[in-house]
Structure 1
């Protein structure tokens, strides 16, 4: 299926009407920002203890995990990404279609203001290159770090940082967000993209990279904050189509995946209330207007999911538990984070995580295909931090497609 590049003469054809360029986990680290030297030395001290005890593998694992969590962006990634996006925007195959730019969080490694400002400046440049009409930026768990590992931060430091994040206009001041919206050709429905925050501004839980979609701001008691999922449902119901039957296609953007790519970690990384969130999204369908989200877009894991070549052609072919049938979870990899190397070298048995992101193109079905969308996914990758960004390719070409009903 080829991108139409705009309006088609024959309405029976599927028509491309939206690109979502989905980036995540830039992990920018400004050189003028803070370095958590105390935690760095502590991690090395513990790793040295393991090494002296003969646990060489455990020692290396600990150092790798620490540095993968705190390493900044690859210094060559920004220029190479600008080059790719320029070619994409100039390619007539992709031109003439509205574009949204989405970043699902972890713009920074340590959460310091200088790194966040530089990361947002990069995103603004990408938006200009793409001619993207909208830019949606989420808050990641690393962005909640107050310039140091959260376990070492005081309550006063955490409060000052989260207050600053809400007042700088780098991120939305409150969640959930009002949706980005675009009409779907050939019908009265719309595509709606909304964002919620899954970040927990807490020393212990954020140190384990755990997330939760709940009260916003998350440090307030329930009676004082906004329950994000209830607010999403109430807003959706308030803006229903007047005819009483027209449904919209809803996308939820959230940093932590609801369906964590298997195997789901037990003590770290996952969304603590993922099952409750999934239940809330599905339960909304009892109102007769479809699920609260048919598609979930996330980051956090640093790897594209489903992996390139594994996207099912039909949503019914796979259930992304705890999501239900008819819902899809897509995760973007780390767009620009540098690969950790000890002593400047990557060990032979290790492989650098690729720098990658995804481009989703939405196609409206003809009138004869009731409440149906086709989404093409292109995965853009830069392997081992070398060379240009390029589209992943296989024997079937450079695109995967999935059909979704709403």
Structure 2
């Protein structure tokens, strides 16, 4: 934490926005400040918690918790539905602040990004001073962030959690193992419950225990992941910060909608597929991506999940094409009167430049993409719709099917650079 020594070596920061969604909502409703606030769908809508303010967290509420449980833990909480357009807009402002300091920024999610401010690369300024300036600039936007600074991503991630909210923790070069050693193994990202159970069974309870463990024993216990964990536990994982242009392209982008009332008719399911396809298409166009594989996901009332895929003859970001494929899959995947509580549409195959035929699990056929004046008209309509929604929010312009479904469920969108959601 001291700044009386010069920083020598790598300087990797991790900026994490504090209770981001809740903080943004409080910007619009200052009267909520200091009160327990939960962003997410209510229990009656079968929702989950997206973010909870720190006041709500004191009652044990946390993200990804079923809303029914959160309501029991904190019955006096204020609930608000997510406003993702607003969150993304403010997130973009924060990312621009970081980019003003260094071009080496790797955004991990809407509220988290690594950045490289190693002295001599793009600036000779003390990395700690840069971090403090970023915290002040984020605070000027009306929200707060916490920053961890160290020589590796692993340590910076852990350090960013140490003094939340609005905290800064710097682990100086040479202090990596001293900082890591006493921490519980759960502090290191990538160690889930199953891995933690294996490690504790063999007497490893701290990160220092992993750092000192025999490499062959870790390999027998965890496979190739074992030696990698040891390197990270020793503070020697020097993976670089990779800007978006250098990162591996996302494997899939998907949207899902959960309904408080089960869908039991084909017209309702068809409308749901169209609505979710439109959202997925808009995400693709915003990210300048086109895919060749469409996936339909259905979750039935018994919580079982069923999926099917279809290949396209050419990459697309067209919502109508995606919806047409989704409806073909729906005809084969759903059988009346199976009640459906969730509908999801994903598209993948971004890194496949050549059209290919993919085998459908249910004997589906390949779907041809249109190339006609009608398609060109549809493309212009989609672009105009995207522009309006980008400027005025996703609710500014809606299709009739969206209005029909608005009272049935909430929508969430996901994209992942490392794994398929389906």
TM-score (norm 2): 0.23
Larger Rg: 2
Specify which structure has the higher proportion of helix. Answer: 2
TM-score (norm 1): 0.24
